[in-house]
Every structure is written in C-alpha cells, then in structure tokens.
Amino acid sequence: MIVCFGEILLRLSPPGAYRLAQADSFDAVYGGAEANTAVALAGFGDPSAVVTRFPDNEIGRSAERSLRRWGVDTSRISWGGSRIGIYFLEKGASLRPSKVLYDRRGSAVAEASPGDFDWDSILSGASAFFFTGITPALSDALPGILEDALAVCRSRKIPVFCDVNYRAALWTPEKAAPVMRSLARGIHTLTVNEEHATLLFGVSPLSGDGDAKIAEIASRLAEEYGIRRIALTFRLSESAEINTVSGALWEDGRLFRSRPYRVPIVDRIGGGDAFSAGLIHGTLAGWDPARTVEFASAANALKHSVHGDALIASEEEVLRLAESADGTVRMIR
C-alpha cells in the first residue's frame, strides 16, 4: 500500500476558458497533489491510500467518495474540523495563463494536530510514503506531523518520495527552506526543479550547462542531504494551450533523461502529480531508471489530455505512449 498524505480540495472552475469574472456557474471536482498521485497509482494497478482530514459533513463525505470511485483506500482518513479547502481555477487560453485562487484557510487539514494521525497504525504494511511541500506549508503543526510520519518510515525502512512543489502563495522561501531541508534529508526520491533546488536547498551548479548542469545539481542535492535519487521536471510553455514537458532522474552518479513531449493542453493541473505516480510505480515495479523516468514523463504528458486534477489512465496506456517511437498514442482496434 502506497500511503499519500496531504490536503484534498474542492476545485471550482468556470466552464471552458471563461474567466472567473465572467462565471455564473462552476464545474466542481476534488483534487490535491497527494490525492492526485494516489488516484493515478490506483489506475496503474498499485494499491494506494490517502491520509487526510475531512469535516464529517456532506462535502467531506463527497470528497471521500470521489477517492473511492477511483479505487483509493480511504480507511486511514481522520474526521474533524468544519470545512474543506477550496481553490478556484481560471483556465488559460492563447496568451493568457491559467490562474489559481486559494480559499483554504481554516480547513480541516490546516487545523490538524498530531493526535489526529496514528502513524504506527497508518503505515502498517505500507510499501511507500508520499508527500509534497504543499502539506507542511499549510500550518505550523504540519511539519511536525510529517516528521512523526517520517520517523516511522525510517524505523520500518519504508521508502519516502517527496515532490517539493513549492507554492509562493502558501509560504515564503525563508520559512520553507529550513522545513523542506529537514523533511527531505535521507529520503529515497526527491522531485524538484532547478529554480527550487537553488531557492530552497541552496544548491546551484558551479559550472556547465545542459545535462552537465542538471547532473551537478542532482549530485550535490543527493550528497548534501543524503537523498538516494533526484528527479527533475521541465516545462517549456509556447502558450496556455501548447507546452513541452520532460523529466530527468539522477541515480548512482548517472543522469537519465526522458524524451520531450509536446502536448496540446486540455487540463494541465496535476501533471507533476502524474509524474510522481509514475516514479513511484516504476520504482516499486523494479524498473531501471531510464524506463522509470520515461514512464513518469509519459504519465505527465498524458495528464494534460484529461479533465480534472488527476490522471485517469492504466499502466498499459502510459506505456503505449512511453514506448511509441514518435511520442504519439497508438489506437487500439
């Protein structure tokens, strides 16, 4: 069982490419980085569970059902608090980028305390643990709650995966840096981009460019923080509707790059979460780093074609894209 810990939010977005100011109705889905990862993993055939805190009301129960719908275990959820977090998404179009507005202050997760989570029980039988840098940003208590979870992971040798996923709207670099450095120390796999490697971890290349620069960033992160593997994601935006995405995985002194995927965008939210799910899936399946990062990047690319926060796809569908010579999806008769 892969245990994913974080906040699930209600996402409200105007239909199509309407702006928030134009909206007189909203499409509603539930999502959040860790929940999106759990849903994608369940689609790949991996048992996954979400750990969060929901209010025991109609909205909390609806959010729980949305997870169960995709095969995610919800038995480890804590119940309490008065509200679920909300975010409003204005989808970009042409030269206008997407916009996100948060309404999550005072949410059930933000008001959680250590007593809400029995990590010895929650992590019993876990094959991996996943969190992002969004979760410790939500309250002063959550970094300590995560430290409690990581202590159990260390004692049981449960591999820990973390996506830094820094959000400037939630906390400053000065507050985030010491927290993320502590939480990331000694974990199995850290996903980060070049900017946040420098901003939060103080790691920047001393020389070189291209793959040499990326490899230097990764090796320094691994050495300074005792992290086994470093994954990096890359995005080139031509417009709000066309992006090129790719990834890299550093392990044992070698850098493995995926091919780039130029993707028309239906919904870009959750692409990084699909990448995280791909990394975890390939790792637990025992794949080599090259195949793992190619699968993760293909999952990221494929997510851009799916409405909602989470990738809804099977392992076979992602492999079909990852293993196609020209990067296109083949049709099945």
Give domain limits for the chain. 2-322
Residue 303: name the closest of 259, 273, 258 by CA: 273
Instruction: Give the range with max mean pLDDT: 134-138, 264-268, 329-333.
Output: 134-138
Residue 227 predicted with pLDDT over 50:
yes
Residue 330 predicted with pLDDT over 90:
no
Residues in the chain: 333
Higher per-residue confidence, 15 vs 209: 15
The rounded distance, in Å, linking the Cα atoms of 25 and 218 is 45
Cβ neighbours, 10 Å, residue 168? 10
Q: What is the mean pLDDT of residues 55-84?
A: 97
Read off the pLDDT band of 207 (50, 70, 90). Answer: low
Residue 86 predicted with pLDDT over 60:
yes
Residue 129: name the closest of 102, 113, 151, 110 by CA: 151
Catalytic positions, written as ranges: 273
- pLDDT per residue as tens digits for the range 89-132: 999 888 898 999 999 999 999 999 999 999 999 999 999 999 99
Residue 327 predicted with pLDDT over 80:
no
Query: What percent of the chain is predicted at pLDDT more than 70?
Result: 96
Residues 314 and 70: beta-carbon distance below 8 Å: no
pTM for the full model? 0.94
Residue carrying the six token digits 């959680």? 112
* Residue 333 confidence (pLDDT): 33
Query: What percent of the chain is predicted at pLDDT more than 90?
Result: 89
> Which token pair is 7?
């906040």
As a whole number, the mean pLDDT across the chain is: 94
Residue 80 predicted with pLDDT over 90:
yes
Residue 137 predicted with pLDDT over 80:
yes
3 state SS of 122: helix
* Residue 240 confidence (pLDDT): 87
Residue 329 predicted with pLDDT over 60:
no
The rounded distance, in Å, linking the Cα atoms of 272 and 191 is 9
- pLDDT per residue as tens digits for the range 153-202: 999 999 999 999 999 999 999 999 999 999 999 999 999 999 999 999 99
3 state SS of 272: helix
Residue 45 predicted with pLDDT over 50:
yes
Read off the pLDDT band of 205 (50, 70, 90). Answer: confident
Instruction: Give CA angle at 49 (44, 129), nearest 5°.
Output: 90
Residue 326 predicted with pLDDT over 80:
no
The arrangement of secondary structure in 2-322, i.e. its CATH architecture, is 3-Layer(aba) Sandwich (3.40)
> Which token pair is 170?
């939630």
Q: Which residues are within 8 A (CB) of 306 and not within 5 positions of it... i.e. 6 or more apart?
A: 266, 267, 312, 313
